[in-house]
Structure 1
Amino acid sequence: MKRLIIATALAGAILAPTMALAAKDSVTFAQRLEPPGLDPRTGAAAAISLTTLYNVYEGLTRIDESGAVQPALAESWTISDDGLTYTFKLLEDVKFHDGADFDSSDVKYTFEANAAEDSQNKRKDRFEVMESIETPDANTIVIKLKERRPDLLEQLGESTAVIVDPASDATNATQPVGTGPYKLDSWTKGDSLKLSAADTYRDKDSIAIKNVTIRFIGDGTARLAALLSGDVDATDVPTELLSSDSLKEDFNIIVGNTNGEVILSTNNANEALSKLKVRQAIAHAINRQEIIDGAMFGYGTPIGSHFAPHHPDYVDLTNTYPYDPELSKKLLAEAGYPDGLELSLKLPPVDNYARQGGQIVASQLEKAGFKINIENVDWPKWLDEVYKKKNYDLSIVAHVEPMDIGIYARENYYFNYNNEKFNEVVAAAESAATPAERTELLQTAQKILAEDAVNGYLFQFPRIYVVRKGLNGVWEDLPLFATDVARMSWSE
């Protein structure tokens, strides 16, 4: 029945008129999830960053497709010999979308607000390490750190470090005001969001794409149909639909990397899951390749810890607990559950890795003696119950921020994991004096997580994106979740 539904939808799309193809100065994207808000500093959803980062908001630096740091609101910088003082020279004649001038006071305000006691910034710790922020003049900002942060320049290019206008800060979640190339025109909840080139942008004549529409289409078959009908120019498509002959003539299929680790999130505070042998039993029950083949149609790279395989400091730890369901049963019995263990599995609304992958994971765990009760939830409920209230046993989600192994050291994070040795290693890695020292510490941190089986480590989420031919500048890899429209253009 599913194949019939897909075939019918595609047939309808092929027969549909193609008059809706984008003008050469417009583009329409579709994404499966609608952002819950439009302030990327405070929301946990990747959809916020995909929509606003580098489009509406900018930081002092920018991360390009290769993962390299580029200038943004800071045109240059110097770092003191001890690695504790960063001096940024800011661009001049920059304005926010509301017409306000941008200067060093906005940087100081933003970073101090990010570190404030009542801050909701999801990477608050990055700003708490700033001992002082000085503004010797309107175009200079001097940041003194309490301890070294070799990754500071990269971190200042992420969504949590975008610079905001103090006057509009309180309403950025619904009426975002930034310095970026695009301003918000409208947001029709449940349908779409529209951006247009900002007259205030300092380099507005360089922007080839003047109008941007982002449509929210949760169903993968519907996203594909929208592509084929001409209503959408680029989107992700479920892997099972990529072989469609309809895509071969008019579209390019991009396959690259992301920093998204797909994990079986585990509530380590649960009485049973707090036991190492139970977590080891889960780890031995997981067949990663079966999940990748069944849920992702072969796209994805197995991981054994919370680290991206394409990172130079990655260690392959997938054999720490090899697939062995009989050993899982034995460990479960030794942990005090000879008759099995009942657990809930709350799945967010992502068809491939979460919903389909969840079915496969549940089946694997049940073969090893677990009883899994699946509960499908929407994103608001997942964020409330799992992420905020920690009311769950297991879940499946992709953690998409670059270099986010440090989340395991966060107090009261939703994994409920607390390991002082790990915390010390991560803290030392963040302030390492040399690259070699940092590599050794990061590899130690990976091994601790793998041996503790903190979560079920499944696979690295791939970048699979279908783009209408003629649209240039779409990233192949996603070093962070951003849709950098200002650097796109249509071929003549």
Structure 2
Amino acid sequence: MTRTIMALVLVGAGLATAPAAFAAPTSATIGMPLEPPTLDPTTGAAAAIDEVTYANIFQGLTRFAEDGSIEPDLARSWDISKDGLVYTFHLHDGVTFHDGSKMTASDVKFSLDRARGKDSANAQKELFTDIAKVEVVDPLTAKVTLSQPDGSFLFDMAWGDAQIVSEKTAAGDATHPIGTGPFEFDDWVRGDHITLKRYANYWGDPAKLETVTFRFISDPTAAFGAMMSGDLDAYPNYPAPENLQQFQGDPRFKVMVGSTEGETILAMNNGRKPFKNKKVREAVAHAIDREAIINGAYFGYGKPIGSHFAPQNPAYIDLTGLSKYDPQLSKKLLVEAGYPEGFKTTLKLPPPSYARRGGEIVAAQLRQVGIDVKIVNVEWAQWLQTVFKDKDYDLTIVSHTEPMDIGIYARDDYYFNYHSDRFKKIMAELDRTTDPEKRTELLKQAQKRIAEDYVNAFLFELPKLGVAKKNLMGLWKNSPTPANDLTEVHWRN
């Protein structure tokens, strides 16, 4: 064979295989700042659980759309009785769990009864307190009867904590989750990654990707290196805002700046001295310069807040003036509270960069008014145990990313140790109210109550800062709930 003929053969072979060479990829590698401690969203509190499992592995009766609205999920429709007490859910037919078993109304009953049961390990058990009973009408119809009208019920059923699980496999969901979503669990290498694969028998529109790998990279420098080298295809909650300008100037990438439900707070232990004293809490709030924290810890990204409520919510009111930066007022309040020389305290900081970076700034600001702060860095599992569960802390910084979760302030056992009958009364009335205008007014009252009680120092609403390769489409820009919903994610040729 001559060289000319050989060349023609090779060119022809190249042309024949060209379409395959330019086919869109079928996998994606996604960066995450934190590794989930478990993969069961119905028994764990960490947002990282939902970031892997929500809408991917597990599904609920309803779900959040990217704009925060409520959509049908496993329930194709529902009927509500005139008195607002009975919800009849009509389920999709042909839904199977990843082990092949059929999902029916019995699984709905099991999941809701388990979540509200006496021995429930659900981190948001209060979502289910108004449920009086759950009945199986037929395999595709579940009836939920409430003890009182609850205007938030369909909203509550969209939380990751309300996902539907199988009685047969629920005990193993922490390490090998089995749900009904478009992806099924494939592999978990602790400390490194979790891999999901497309579920072949999914009841709805199949996922466009065949496999997805979540890699855990908390260090901002390492996250930047992984994106620049191509080891990651996207980092939806990018931890280093100082790098965004560099990504914006690189044609290989796109930067997505959106909103989250994450109220970033300096939490104070209201059940421990000196923070039992409202004047001390108010002094702390007035010692904080929010803009300095936003600029120093998040490079200008983020919006100051004065209560535990997302600015994008229509019921939001700006209460930042109640705790405006005023160091002299802060010192005066400390004198009135009986601490003219200030006091010593500790600030426990979990790993996220907003907490670690913001904590350094907060500590410096508190020292300026006489509060001697010792910073204690803790890992996420340690924070969940010592701060969230055991309430063993003075101060901490964390972002509460659950959707419209102001109701947590009505829980006597919550880690803030805040007890207010006035606030509970507002929330109880809200639960019984379905009229939109009345609900808005009650939500405004709730915001004012906790702001005026200075339960915590409210810092800023955490923005969603995402980085992705420019051809990766379908990622959420906004986060109405902690989630990396991959159902529509695909590569564009």
TM category, shorter: over 0.9
Residues 227 and 297 of structure 1: CA distance in aligned 2, closer, same or farther (over 3 Å): same
Equivalent position of 2:77 in the other structure: 76
Aligned amino acid, residue 228 of structure 1: M
| Cα shift readout 1:59-81 (whole Å, capped 9, x = no counterpart) | 01121111111111111111112
| Cα shift readout 1:354-402 (whole Å, capped 9, x = no counterpart) | 1110010011111111110111111111111111111110000000100
8 Å Cα contact 2:247-2:467 kept in structure 1: no
Structure 2 Cα separation of the partners of residues 472 and 136 of structure 1: 41
Q: Secondary structure at the match of 1:187?
A: strand
8 Å Cα contact 1:237-1:465 kept in structure 2: no
Which runs of structure 2 are paired with 1:232-311 in the superposition (5 Å)? 232-235=232-235, 236-244=238-246, 248-311=250-313
Equivalent position of 2:207 in the other structure: 207
Deviation at 1:215, TM superposition (A): 0.4
8 Å Cα contact 2:247-2:253 kept in structure 1: no
Stretch of structure 1 that moved more, 276-285 or 235-244: 235-244
Equivalent position of 1:491 in the other structure: 492
Structure 2 Cα separation of the partners of residues 126 and 363 of structure 1: 38
Q: Secondary structure at the match of 1:243?
A: helix
Q: Secondary structure at the match of 2:322?
A: coil
Equivalent position of 1:4 in the other structure: none
Structure 1 Cα separation of the partners of residues 344 and 101 of structure 2: 57
Structure 1 Cα separation of the partners of residues 231 and 248 of structure 2: 15
Aligned amino acid, residue 142 of structure 2: I
In structure 2, runs of 5+ residues without a counterpart are 1-21
Residues 424 and 121 of structure 1: CA distance in aligned 2, closer, same or farther (over 3 Å): same
Equivalent position of 2:483 in the other structure: 482
Structure 2 Cα separation of the partners of residues 433 and 394 of structure 1: 36
Aligned amino acid, residue 126 of structure 1: L
Which runs of structure 2 are paired with 1:31-180 in the superposition (5 Å)? 31-180=32-181
Q: Which of 308, 311, 319 is the aligned partner of 2:321?
A: 319
Equivalent position of 1:465 in the other structure: 466
Deviation at 1:126, TM superposition (A): 2.0
Structure 2 Cα separation of the partners of residues 219 and 124 of structure 1: 33
Q: Secondary structure at the match of 1:261?
A: strand
| Root mean square deviation of aligned Cα | 1.3
8 Å Cα contact 1:22-1:28 kept in structure 2: no
8 Å Cα contact 2:68-2:480 kept in structure 1: yes
Deviation at 1:96, TM superposition (A): 0.4
1:359 and 2:360 matched: yes
Moved over 6 A (4+): none
Structure 2 Cα separation of the partners of residues 383 and 409 of structure 1: 20
Q: Secondary structure at the match of 1:282?
A: helix
Structure 2 Cα separation of the partners of residues 95 and 254 of structure 1: 35
8 Å Cα contact 1:184-1:194 kept in structure 2: yes
Which runs of structure 2 are paired with 1:272-421 in the superposition (5 Å)? 272-351=274-353, 353-421=354-422
Equivalent position of 1:453 in the other structure: 454
Deviation at 1:248, TM superposition (A): 2.3
Deviation at 1:247, TM superposition (A): 5.3
1:217 and 2:180 matched: no
8 Å Cα contact 2:349-2:359 kept in structure 1: yes
Structure 1 Cα separation of the partners of residues 390 and 239 of structure 2: 32
Structure 1 Cα separation of the partners of residues 298 and 100 of structure 2: 46
Equivalent position of 2:430 in the other structure: 429
Structure 2 Cα separation of the partners of residues 203 and 259 of structure 1: 28
Stretch of structure 1 that moved more, 372-381 or 222-231: 222-231
Task: Find the structure with the greater CA-based Rg.
Answer: 2
Deviation at 1:199, TM superposition (A): 2.0
TM-score of the aligned structures, taking structure 1 as reference length:
0.94
8 Å Cα contact 1:303-1:458 kept in structure 2: yes
8 Å Cα contact 1:239-1:297 kept in structure 2: yes
Aligned amino acid, residue 433 of structure 1: T
1:438 and 2:434 matched: no
Structure 2 Cα separation of the partners of residues 359 and 224 of structure 1: 22
Structure 1 Cα separation of the partners of residues 149 and 248 of structure 2: 52
Q: Secondary structure at the match of 2:132?
A: strand
Q: Secondary structure at the match of 1:320?
A: helix
TM-score of the aligned structures, taking structure 2 as reference length:
0.93
Structure 1 Cα separation of the partners of residues 98 and 130 of structure 2: 30
Deviation at 1:200, TM superposition (A): 2.7
Deviation at 1:422, TM superposition (A): 0.3
